[in-house]
Structure 1
Amino acid sequence: MTQQEWRGTVVKKSRGLLDGANLYRRLHVRLQDGSTMKIRVDRTLWKVLEVGDSVIKRAGADPVKD
């Protein structure tokens, strides 16, 4: 993850075995400027977030529910 800061809204949740061995959990987040980005998150955060929830990422930290 980069050191950038952002805030957005979850528009989609997905997960998959992209390499056949590890389960990856991703969020599609719409940022305040209207663009979207995909981020990989851990199981704990993925389970508590739903579509429509706000997410914030501060520099040097992992994304969290806002």
Structure 2
Amino acid sequence: MVVSQTGDMFTSRQPAPDEAWEGVVLDKSRGMTDGSNMYRYLTVRLSTSETKKIRVDRGLWDSVAEGDGIVKQAGSNPVKK
């Protein structure tokens, strides 16, 4: 678990295939957490007011900015709203 600057708890991971949610991008980050691969993350405030940090592909990461909406349907990857 990681505690954000706002005190919210979230895990840093890829969304599960059966998850469904929508939210607003709060922050974008990237890093080489394993030392060899670049991973891209979005911190998202969900419609339930929960905050999640999710790993996303480069295409989505490049296409969104803070304040953009994203949607995750069960069985698919998150997309820009």
Coarse TM-score class (shorter-chain normalised): over 0.9
The structure 1 segments of at least 4 consecutive aligned residues displaced by more than 6 Å after TM superposition are none
Question: In the TM superposition, what are the counterparts of 1:3-18 in structure 2 within 5 Å?
Answer: 3-18=18-33
Select the structure with the greater relative contact order (CA < 8 A; seq sep ≥ 6).
1
CA distance in 2, matches of 1:58, 1:36: 17
- Output the TM-score relative to the length of structure 1: 0.97
- Output the TM-score relative to the length of structure 2: 0.79
Which ranges of structure 1 fall in alignment gaps of 5 or more residues?
A: none
CA distance in 2, matches of 1:48, 1:19: 24
Q: Name the structure 2 match of 1:63.
A: 78
What amino acid is aligned across from residue 49 of structure 1 in structure 2?
A: V
What amino acid is aligned across from residue 23 of structure 1 in structure 2?
A: M
Which ranges of structure 2 fall in alignment gaps of 5 or more residues?
A: 1-14
Identity of aligned residues (%): 50
